[in-house]
Every structure is written in structure tokens, then in C-alpha cells.
Amino acid sequence: MRKNMVVVEGSYAVAHAVKVCKPNVISAYPITPQTHIVEDLAQFHADGEMNCEYMNVESEFSAISALIGASAAGARTYSSTTSQGLALMHEALFNSSGMRLPIVMTVVNRALSAPINIWNDQQDSISQRDTGWIQLYAEDVQESADMTPQLYKLAEDEDVLLPAMSCMDGFILSHVYEPVILLEQSLTDEFLPSYDPEFVLDTRNPMSFGAFADPSTYTEFRYKQEKAMGVALKKIEEIAHEFKDIYGRYYGGLIDGYVLDDAEIVIMAMGSVIGTIKDTIDELRSEGESVGLLKVRSFRPFPKEAIRKALKNAKIVITLDKNISIGKNEGALCTEVKACLYNTDNRVPVIGFMLGHGGRDIPMQMIKKIINKAKLVEKGIFIESEYADLREDLA
């Protein structure tokens, strides 16, 4: 397998993955740090390597809006964005999900303004949690690339029909050069069927999209989106295994464990910090510490059952969040994990740490410090949730 590896930028690996998925319409608007993806796609298009329409639009709002039209007309569609751009799309995110349009978009995670900051955290996509989009978070570049055909297959499934975000950490993944296998066209053709939707804007068979629903019908539209998320919960696992069968790579479906089964202390996180946690765990394990990792790959749909099962034997749960709900002093993963355990018998303490906001580095030492702080619960000192990496001189 190693002989197929090339060293490329993360954005290139993702753009290449998009290319082999053969989208019909791509809309592009520049914003750091996602720009390299749409630049690479523009070059593929300019070199005649892609048979698609590439639209340079005048804002992220039009980027997503153009895809709404294109998807309703039956096209496979793609765009990528981040941070302010994703926030600008907010209204259209609800709209595209409500219209059940399987748009796939890479979100290169970045902090939100103010203060303006171009570096990584996950406040942007977490803030779109309730828009009805599927959200998967990638651990490394290979997973970011591989997630693309997985998400097309998932989103376009006739029992799902929901838009999907592939979330990758800005700069840490988008701008890093690392060895990856670029997705083979032949394998992708085998894995991903062509898109042939039942409901399209077609003058031979007129349909109305986006009608006005009054109180007598509105609720059922939402209910059906929620039901589709339930289907996605099963399909994410299935599709991850189908991907493994064809490409030979697997990252977990909804979640993944790392030396998890016997771990007394379980760290939960999403995205590129997973790699740092794994290295830290390796060190601590060699020192005899009982620490494991529970990686959350799917944030929407949220894998409640899988998480409950995975935390069965845990004595302490630590959640790491690159986001904050301002006014609640905790990140979204912390809130969600606590909520999903509340109606069970499992009363394991869940301790939330927020860190890495606005691109602040997360060294292994920080993970060790967090674990030591969480262990204070054994001495009766319970930290509910706090920033792990505050600069005392500025705070």
C-alpha cells in the first residue's frame, strides 16, 4: 500500500477526492483556509480533467444558493467553506436540508469573528449543529479525503436525502503535507453509484419545490428530517464498512475507539486533536495509566447509543471541545455527552475542557495536564467544565 502514497497538501487530497466523485456543479468563493480546495478544483477544471460546471459566485450565500438550484435540478453538487462563510450560509443551510437536497460540502474548520482570527477551532460547524446537515469530523488528511465519497453515498441515499458536511481542521489538516493515497477513479466508480434522484426540476414532469407549509403540515417536514437522520445513523456504519471493503481503509463509522475497552479514563474528542491524544495515550499506557480514546466521528446524527455502549466501563470521561457555548461555559461535545448519559444508570463524571480556540496549539503536555486535572475527581474535586489552556496573564 505504501508504494501508492504521495505527499500532497491536505486541500489537494480533498480536491482530488471531489474530482473522482464527479460532481456536476461546483460553486466557489474564496475564504481562508478553505481556498486551496477550490483553487485545486479550478485547476482540474481548467486542465479539462473535470466534466462539470465551475461557478465563481459573489458570496458564500450565493455559493450554497446556486447548489440548492443545481441539486434540485438533479446535479451532484459540491462547495467548500469555513467560518464567516459558513455563518453567512446559515439561512440556506436550513433551507437546503428542509428541501432534502443532498449537497456535500467540506467545512475547513476555523474560528469565528470577533476578534477576527483565521486559525482553527470548530465553532463554525458546531454553530450549524441544528440546521439539519449531517456532520462528520475527520482525524487526518486521508480520512478527510475518504469522507468525501462516503458522504455523497450517504447524502444521496434515497432514505436519507440530507445535505452533509465533511469537517476538517483548518491549517492543521488543510495545509499540512502528509503522505496519502489519492482516491482511485476506478475504486470510486465502484463504490459510489451515479446520482439519479427521483424528484427533480424537469419540464417533462413538473414538480413544485419549497412550498409554503402552515401549522397543519410543517411539523411532519421536520419529523421526516429527523427520521432520515435516524436512517443515516445506520448507514454511516454500513458505508464505512463498504468503503473498507473496496479501498481497505476504515476510521470507524459513527465513533471509533483506541485502547478503549479496558480504559478507566476515556477522552472524547473530534477532529485532528485525535492524533495528539493517541500519541499521549501511548506514552501514558507505557507508564501504566489506564487511559483510552473515544473518537466521535459523527456529530450529526449524534450516536447516542454507540456512545452509551462505549462508555459502559469508564470511570472518568473527559470531553475536549474546540468550541464554546458562551453563557454555558462548556463546549457542545460536553453538553451532548452528558445529556445522552443522563437517562441511563451510568453516572460516570463527565468533565469538559475547552481548548485550542482560535488556533492555539494543543501539545501532548496539555492532554496530560487535562488528564491529571480530571483525576482530581477521585479526590472529590469536580471540575464541571473549564478552559484548559487559558493564558493567565491575559485572562
Regarding 279 and contact with other proteins (CB under 8 A), the answer is no
Regarding 56 and contact with other proteins (CB under 8 A), the answer is yes
Cβ neighbours for 123, distance < 8 A, ≥ 6 positions apart: 111, 112, 322, 323, 324, 357
> Are residues 308 and 341 in contact, defined by beta-carbon separation less than 8 angstroms?
yes
Pattern 16-55, other proteins, x by CB under 8 A: --------xx-x-----------------------xxx-x
Pick between residue 8 and residue 52 the one whose CB is nearest to other proteins: 52
Measure the CA–CA gap between 166 and 105, rounded to whole angstroms: 6
CB of 219 to other proteins, least distance (A): 12
Pick between residue 196 and residue 392 the one whose CB is nearest to other proteins: 196
Residue entry with cell 414532469:
205
C-alpha separations of 316 from 104, 292, 330, 345, 375 in Å: 36, 11, 17, 15, 8
Residue entry with cell 505504501:
2
Pick between residue 205 and residue 343 the one whose CB is nearest to other proteins: 205
Classify the C-alpha dihedral 34-40-43-49 as positive or negative.
negative
Measure the CA–CA gap between 123 and 93, rounded to whole angstroms: 16
Regarding 93 and contact with other proteins (CB under 8 A), the answer is no
Regarding 219 and contact with other proteins (CB under 8 A), the answer is no
Cell numbers of 340, please?
Answer: 445522552
Regarding 92 and contact with other proteins (CB under 8 A), the answer is yes
Pick between residue 207 and residue 339 the one whose CB is nearest to other proteins: 207
Among 91, 226, 282, 305, binds other proteins (CB under 8 A): 91
Regarding 68 and contact with other proteins (CB under 8 A), the answer is yes
Measure the CA–CA gap between 112 and 54, rounded to whole angstroms: 27
Among 42, 61, 249, 290, binds other proteins (CB under 8 A): 61
Interacting residue ranges for other proteins, rule: CB under 8 A: 24-25, 27, 51-53, 55-59, 61-62, 65-75, 77, 91-92, 95, 99, 201-203, 205-214, 217
